[in-house]
Amino acid sequence: MNLLGIDVSGTCATFSRLCYFGAPWYSVILQWYRQQRSDHYRYPTSADDIQIVYESKNYFVVNKDDLVPIDSFDAPAQVNVTQQVKKWFHKRETERFLKQDPPATEEQAEQWSKSLAQKVEDIRYCHRLDLGTSGCMCYARSASASYLTYKAFIDKRVLKYYLALVHGHLHAPYSIFVNVPIGENASCYGRIMCTDDHPHCTAAKPAQSHVDVLEHGDYDGKPASKVLVRILTGKRHQIRLHMKYLGHPIIGDYLYTDPIDYKPHRIMLHARSLTIHTEQELIDALAKDPFVTQIDPKWKKTKTILPVNRW
């Protein structure tokens, strides 16, 4: 990127990293910066732009877009996922109510409006995804439903698969089991994490992941692989650190690549599927694979090792 004839790409990348940890408006800076570098950048322009991939009387699962914060606490002036879900639900229920026959009386409409406002207020997210990660994210429609998902996470009755594009061609004839603890990097500002082999790692906790290689190809002319990752634990930035540990960091990961990989329009990490065994119901959701040439022309598959549609 040139500013008055001066290349400021590296400066912008570093500034974006600092803003990520130093201010609540970090996502606006990073979103603006990456938008300049991509002709096919997808970012929701309004709260109406949302994809629901699973719905029941107790839960919603949305296909979260990358660089969209979860709630207003993360970025007050920006579109956020919680706002999207609540607005979508309110709009849909209102349309259904207005279409009913015979039409409701004024008193019935007032009661319904109060009931709907409470239902919207009760909607809450059950877990989190990193800002740059897209894919399946679950919302509960009540406090009791939220508690049941919390219990499912505690009891390890949750199955989560992620897709990622990583640097280089990862060769493995079988699933790779990564059992490397993760802790905070005491030498960095903000919550930068690291594996326990780092000299400044503190309070490391167990972290396990299974990695399967799905495809080999090229991203922006450089060797890359598409991998499927199943996480057995849920530590902060776990997949990003475990892929770095294997020597194949995630493309676009501006935190855990050296030099900083700021050129791609996003972090190539996507929550592909989510299965939660609650005592109330089985939540089973699948989000579309965004890492295909039709969506991102820079990714060109050259070899299929395992079919993506299997998951």
Catalytic residues: 130
CA torsion, ordered 208, 214, 216, 222, to nearest 10 deg: -50
Residue 59 CA: distances (Å) to CA of 94, 121, 147, 188, 233: 19, 14, 12, 38, 23
Task: Give DSSP secondary structure letters for 109-147.
Answer: HHHHHHHHHHHHHH-EESS---TT-EEEEEEESSHHHHH
Angle at 57 between CA 91 and CA 42, to 5 degrees: 50
Classify 222 as helix, strand or coil.
strand
37 within 8 A of 265, measured Cβ to Cβ: yes
Burial category of 258 from C-beta neighbours within 10 Å (exposed 0-12, middle 13-18, buried 19 and up): exposed
Token pair 């207020």: residue: 121
Tell me 251's DSSP state: T
Consecutive H or E run containing 148:
helix 143-154
